[in-house]
């Protein structure tokens, strides 16, 4: 999580690395590519198309390497849906940090977005959102947590109860790699939240690479067991020194969503989970 600074619009913003811009570019590409399908759920008498961001941040960022101002995920997503002519019928945002959450909400209100704000942890917030959604609507969630522990599996489990749900997920590769020993040997670790039950499936006596791969494979299998299949295409986001930071992948119930993500991510051999 970057430090808060004053934004170029007078609201709190976040200091981020250049990789944040690339991540939001992929998010917006997916929203643009899926515009024709989304249009079928919009309009009077239709079930609606919602956007959900449970780790919204303040909605505005400054790239520390370049000094460029960019929109946060929820704001960028709303703008792209407007630009595509298929604006989301409702935008749900949440963030554990009140300052970040309220800054994002105000930015979205200024843009005319139909924003609804939820409080608490992401796992708690999603339980407030899902029961009130139209069960026949089209729903898209962006899960962009600061670390692996925040990606509580209960979030995906709750979202998976929706009939039509696409989930773009940020999986923190650094936590799987740099913090592997701590997570694998502690009585309680980020892995327990991320992939409950992993201790019964992964032999930590193996080499580090095998443990990482097995934990990730077990998580993918858990997600698939909910009926939201993780994409085979994954986009590896790297830092300014070319260090691997995190993966972006799509979990969805419909094959068309995976085709959209394959086009949006434009993966060139980056789908291999390799440490």
Q: Cα 179 to chain center, whole Å?
A: 21
Domains of the chain: 4-144 (3.40.50)
At residue 1, the pLDDT reads: 67
CA-CA distance, 20 to 141, in Å (whole number)?
Answer: 17
Residue ranges of the chain with per-residue pLDDT less than 70: 1, 267-275
Residue identified by tokens 């949440």 is: 94
Looking at residue 256, the DSSP 8-state letter turns out to be H
CA-CA distance, 149 to 163, in Å (whole number)?
Answer: 27
DSSP 42-106: -STTS--EEEEESS-TTSEEEETTT--EEE-HHHHHHHHHHHTT---SEEEEE-SSHHHHHHHHH
Do residues 19 and 26 touch, judged by C-beta distance below 8 A?
A: no
At residue 234, the pLDDT reads: 87
Q: Supply φ then ψ for residue 144, to 5 degrees.
A: -130, 65
Whole-angstrom CA distances from 251 to 100, 140, 156, 164 are 26, 10, 9, 11
At residue 274, the pLDDT reads: 43
CA-CA distance, 211 to 175, in Å (whole number)?
Answer: 13
Structure-token pair, residue 124: 């708690």
167 strand-pairing partners: 141, 251
């Amino acid at each position: 999580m970057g430090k808060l600074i004053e934004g170029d619009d007078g609201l709190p913003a976040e200091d981020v690395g250049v990789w944040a811009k690339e991540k939001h570019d992929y998010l917006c590409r997916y929203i643009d590519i899926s515009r024709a399908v989304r249009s079928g759920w919009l309009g009077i008498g239709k079930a609606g198309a919602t956007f959900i961001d449970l780790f919204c941040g303040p909605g505005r960022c400054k790239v520390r390497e370049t000094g460029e101002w960019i929109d946060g995920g929820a704001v960028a997503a709303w703008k792209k849906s407007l630009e595509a002519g298929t604006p989301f019928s409702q935008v749900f945002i949440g963030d554990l940090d009140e300052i970040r959450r309220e800054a994002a909400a105000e930015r979205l209100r200024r843009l005319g977005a139909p924003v609804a704000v939820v409080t608490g942890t992401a796992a708690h917030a999603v339980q407030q959102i899902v029961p009130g959604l139209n069960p026949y609507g089209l729903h898209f969630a962006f899960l962009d947590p600061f670390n692996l522990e925040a990606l509580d599996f209960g979030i995906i489990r709750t979202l998976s109860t929706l009939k039509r749900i696409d989930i773009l997920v940020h999986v923190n590769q650094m936590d799987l790699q740099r913090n592997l020993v701590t997570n694998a040997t502690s009585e309680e670790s980020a892995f327990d939240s991320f992939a409950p039950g992993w201790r019964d499936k992964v032999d930590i006596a193996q080499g580090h690479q095998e443990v990482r791969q097995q934990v990730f494979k077990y998580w993918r299998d858990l997600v698939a067991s909910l009926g939201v299949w993780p994409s085979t295409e994954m986009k590896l986001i790297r830092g300014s020194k070319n260090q691997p930071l995190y993966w972006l992948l799509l979990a969805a119930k419909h094959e068309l969503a995976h085709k959209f993500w394959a086009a949006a991510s434009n993966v060139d051999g980056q789908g291999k989970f390799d440490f």
